[in-house]
Structure 1
Amino acid sequence: MNIALIAHDKKKKNLIDFVTAYQNIFKEHQLFATGTTGKLIQKETGLTIYRFQSGPLGGDQQIGAKIANDEMDMIIFFRDPLTAQPHEPDVSALLRLCDVYKVPLATNQASAEIMVRGLQNGWLDWRSIKDKREIYDD
């Protein structure tokens, strides 16, 4: 599965700790991340991570394009709800795309843990169906 990892500045350490804790699961998948977040996770874990631009410089939109092109299966985005983000419209667009394309999205550690455990147990295998477009048609 293709998994995107994103974190606002005040949540980067939390995401690094989370990925480190579940490194044995993440190493079985293709990982993508916004610039700084990906660099920090890769440095700490040694996992291979494809890095996009930093979120405010277009990284959120690059991940959004992957979602729209059916090339992203899961998003883990540790958001900081208490700090205003200058690129909030990009964040909102990314969240909207997850809803439109039915891409599982975790925005905090609790929901991310449920998703990663589900990934480990095969509960998200429906995301791997060859022609996912049939699933998206309501």
Structure 2
Amino acid sequence: MSRSQIPLLAVLVVLAAVSICGCMGQETVLSGEEAAEVLVYADPIAENVMQGFNEGNYTVYSRDFSPEMKQALDEAAFEQNREEVTSRIGLYESRSDPVVTETGDYIAVTYRAKFEQEDGVALRFVFLEGDASHQLHGLWFNSPKLRS
């Protein structure tokens, strides 16, 4: 291989790597009937989780968790996380504007939520695609006040 071919080969390897990485993590927004089908189960689960959050009731909060979620977010972790969230943004009040996305084997529903001390908090609920039990596999609260 000549010296002039090495830079070309390096560029092709980098382009291939970027292309592969881009395909693996792409998030596709679902709309219409597909999104509506997801929201049929996601909305009641989100309401239940947030009710349990406000009440400080781990049993209600974790009712729809997958076994892995219950192990990762046990009652002690719930109490600690709840204290951190409520001390920064208060209790949950409402949610709106759900966006349903698909990434690989997962479906995510992200809501804009209003808390007592901050509006526009992102609540992200993640489900395993094709799981008829609709167990929750991921849950995130994200906002400027929570990141500070």
TM range (shorter): under 0.3
Higher relative contact order (CA 8 A, sep 6+): 1
Q: Which has the higher strand share?
A: 2
Q: Which has the higher helix share?
A: 1
TM-score using structure 2 length = 0.26
Larger gyration radius, structure 1 or structure 2: 2
